[in-house]
Amino acid sequence: MSSDEEEWVPFSRRPGWRDVTPVPQDDGPNPVVPIAYGEEFREIMDYFRALYFADERSRRSLELTAEAIDKNPGNYTVWHFRRRVIDALNADLCSELDFVSLISLKNSKNYQLWHHRRWVAEKLGPDSTNKELEFTKMILARDAKHYHAWSHRQWVLQSLGGWEDELDYCAQLLDDDIFNNSAWNQRYFVISKSPLLGGVQAMRDSEVGYAIEAIAANPENESPWRYLRGLFKGHADLLIEDGRVSEACLKVLKTSNQRVFALSLLLDLLCHGLQPREELREVVQRLSSEMELPVGGGLPTAVCSILETMDPMRSSYWAWRKSNLLPEAS
């Protein structure tokens, strides 16, 4: 019986429980600050301890753990015992997923809940894939940055499958909110881990286009800039060779007031050997003049000086970057 019902019936008055002697919590002879447990919670846990110490793996034990979890979903001992009971009874695992879904409506950020759900899904195997992906979709629809949901979803994909529509799901989330950095992270996870896509190298060309399109629409959005860098991780030579990258920086510098991320990427390109076209030099020089910055040094030095002024929260970092420029790059 759920404790949410209007009248909760104590175990001492329930048929089938009269053979159980409840075990009270032992706080020692002189507890300093006794916890004021409610009567329902106290009785549930007293009866739980009785069955737990007796290691009774029965149907009523399963029902009792449900009530205990409803009262305190963070009690890992109760969850652990419930798993032992489920194993002993060979209980319906699909129904168990439904139980966890119900608990998650009020406690979706409870670690024990997600650990238990993974245990059940792992036992069910690929048969649970669709249900688990839909469950995480439901959670993410309410909280797009839900860490446990994203972690569980990635585990499902890697352990049980379901990659076929995941890139489309990421695109849908980014259509809804292009600033959703969790969706950008998941998109990179998919292109780098999916056995169906061939890895980052195979996806790089199209994904660069996708990121640059997002940058053009919202230059102040850091996520696509980070995503663009990630596509070339460990391959600075390819980053420089792809003219679309420096062109994206140039376009933002010419048309937007949100220039910090473009300048930051441009600085890295220059430090890795980019030979900038004349138009790019002129834009940087114009920005330096408009900000009345000292003239002198090379293009990377000028970019660092602009960033020191334009990005005051990280001005010390940009000053450090400038002081560490190699002579040939300064």
Identify whether the C-beta of residue 182 lies closer than 8 Å to the C-beta of residue 188. Answer: no
Q: What is the mean pLDDT of residues 212-223?
A: 97
Which active-site residues does the annotation give?
109
236 domain residue, yes or no = no
User: Could you give the number of structural domains in the chain?
Assistant: 1
Cα-only R_g, the chain: 29
9 domain residue, yes or no = yes
* pLDDT at residue number 1: 44
Q: Which of 188, 185, 179 is nearest to 231 (CA)?
A: 188
Q: Which of 214, 297, 208, 219 is nearest to 253 (CA)?
A: 219
Which DSSP state fits 256?
A: -
Q: Which amino acid is at 292?
A: E
Cα of 327 vs its chain's centroid, Å: 41
* pLDDT at residue number 329: 56
Q: Percentage of residues in the chain with pLDDT exceeding 70?
A: 96
DSSP-based three-state secondary structure for 89: helix
Q: What is the mean pLDDT of residues 17-21?
A: 94
* pLDDT at residue number 327: 67
112 domain residue, yes or no = no
Query: What's the pLDDT tens digit per position in 80-128?
Result: 999 999 999 999 999 999 999 999 999 999 999 999 999 999 999 999 9
What residues make up the domain containing 38? 1-91
Identify whether the C-beta of residue 153 lies closer than 8 Å to the C-beta of residue 133. Answer: yes
116 domain residue, yes or no = no
Task: Provide the CB-side half-sphere exposure for 91 (13 A, CA).
Answer: 23
1 domain residue, yes or no = yes
Residue 6 pLDDT > 70: no
Q: Which amino acid is at 121?
A: A
Which DSSP state fits 10?
A: P
142 domain residue, yes or no = no
Does this model's pTM top 0.85? My answer is yes
Contacts of 324 (CB under 8 A, 6+ apart): none
Identify whether the C-beta of residue 40 lies closer than 8 Å to the C-beta of residue 3. Answer: yes
43 domain residue, yes or no = yes
87 domain residue, yes or no = yes
* pLDDT at residue number 164: 97
* pLDDT at residue number 116: 98
